[in-house]
Amino acid sequence: MTGIHREIYGQGRPLVMLHGWAMHSGIWRDFARQLARQRHVICLDLPGHGRSANLDRFELSAIASSLIDAIPLNRFSVLGWSLGATVALEMAARFPGRVQSLLLLSGNPKFVKNIGWPGVRPEVLDGFVAQLNDDAKLTLQRFLGLQVQGLPDNRQLLQQLRLAVQECDAPARDALQGGLQILKNSDLRQSLVGLRCPVTVIQGDKDPLIPVQTGQSIKALNSRVALHVLANAGHVPFLSHAQQLCDIVAAAE
């Protein structure tokens, strides 16, 4: 597939960055430029998001393939945030010869909670699916608010999110619905077990979407995972804890 939008910054070890559901690369442009002081950063818009063309079917395997084809390097690290973390894990599992290392930011190999696995309650995602059909704009606004919920500077962070998101049109509706279905139905725990590349997991201890217990559950699957839990961080640590996060990413393999 052609038509994947790229933003490229800096020099050094290559790092591909994948944003989350309903977002685009502009959401973390300032953070990407900060990382670019030490890394060669390639930000990609997911299909149907931002300035990227849509896919006929917004499915995980097709997304991973389309992004791999858009990366002009043989070997690179991938940092995925939220839905982007799910996509990044799929890329690392399917294309081990291309993905040198993996960083999962506010992500989870299985997003939904079930017996023995911490995650978001299924009804939360079901609510977004139902609301998206009724009022897409309101649904997206609610999702932005959830990402900064409970943080002391939530109003300022929410304003930053809103301004960044408004840079581009909202994603195609089938991409939005498809992304929610990926989050609801994907279970990549066995993919994580089988990875041989270095894996770094970074999460906030106040993230309403990724429970803090997830980190230890991930390490139980793959003991080689490097886990970092950011104190007083929610779902968007690249806004609230940019320098701390930048230091972790710069030091990762």
Please give the positions annotated as active site.
Answer: 82, 207, 235
CA atoms within 13 A on the CB side of 18: 34
* Residues in Cβ contact with 215 at an 8 Å cutoff, skipping those fewer than 6 apart: 201, 203, 227, 229
The rounded distance, in Å, linking the Cα atoms of 225 and 206 is: 21
Residue 185: name the closest of 114, 95, 102 by CA.
114
Query: In Å, what is the CA distance from 29 to each residue of 18, 22, 25, 116, 144?
Result: 12, 16, 6, 37, 17
CB-CB contact of 182 with 83 (8 Å): yes
**Token couple for 195:** 């990875």
